Amino acid sequence: MSLRCYGARQFECRPPKTAILWAPTAAFITACSIPFISGTYATVYTIVNVMLTALTLATAIQHWPGSGKKTLSRWGLIGVHILLAASFAVRAGQGLLAAQEFGRGLPDDLLLAIHLIVALFFLTASGALSLSLAYEKNATRLFHLATRDALTGLLTRRALEDKVREIAALGEFRPYAVLIFDLDHFKQVNDLYGHAAGDATLKACADIFTEVLGKKQIIARWGGEEFIAIVETNSPVEAHALAERSRMRIKKASIVYLHHRINLSVSIGICHSTRCDSDFKEMLLKADSALYKAKAKGRNRTEAAAA
């Protein structure tokens, strides 16, 4: 069970703790070295089952779902570990309450038969559920790699287009705005400080857009130094205010990379529509046209186009 607990930590990408492997064994050997304990089989039996209960529950805790990890396989794996821990706990109680009935071996009774059935079920179910959970975890990782920009963690261009088609097919569009962001003179960052500094700058700007607009909005890296957001807003004024808030945050931000402080600005194009069935591609073209107008007027500004 120590190996299972250690393996569960590795599977969940938690820092390994080698004490999980040797501490239970060391504790058991130490306990059995005490004559009072080693001289009574019931005491040894109780200690072993208490330790197994603790290790089994610890393994279940390692699999406890965090954010975005709630799947049937995970809950099932936790459930079978809790079931086995309960069985060990019952046997520990048996060692405490029926110590006088113990000989020098396992008590051959109904509790032993039930425990063996639980253990057999655990071995079969935990194996199947572990394979299922590994498959789900790998599928989630591949989906994330396919839909998320590796540098910024935002949606990719293709993923955003797929998301728009999915929403349109479900008829869930509410009044919304398309915002296109273009970092001003971004090439100078790469030329002056190197591409690693440029990558750090893009990541920092993506974080600012996510913070200002909110994680529930659809935000993507459109390509290069361009970003795009589809934001649910009830009015052009509200959409413009969000864009301006983003612009000011970028303007005020001082991005630190190594010993360099990088300051930059952003130009933004907006197209807002109160019609839920507005064509996304048409709005995108109008927002792009507004963006070029902002750049033509001197950059570091927001321009809006009517839908």
Active-site residue, 225 included: yes
Beta-bridge partners for 284: none
Per the CB < 8 A criterion, the answer to whether 294 and 269 are in contact is yes
d(CA 16, CA 8) in angstroms, rounded, equals 10
What burial class does residue 165 get, using C-beta atoms within 10 Å of its C-beta: 0-12 exposed, 13-18 middle, 19+ buried? exposed
H/E segment holding residue 159: helix 157-170
Q: What are phi and psi of 201, to 5 degrees?
A: -65, -45
| Selected catalytic residue, list 12, 172, 225, 238 | 225
The position carrying tokens 């790998």 is 138
Cα torsion 285, 291, 293, 295: sign: negative
Task: Give catalytic residues, as residue numbers.
Answer: 225
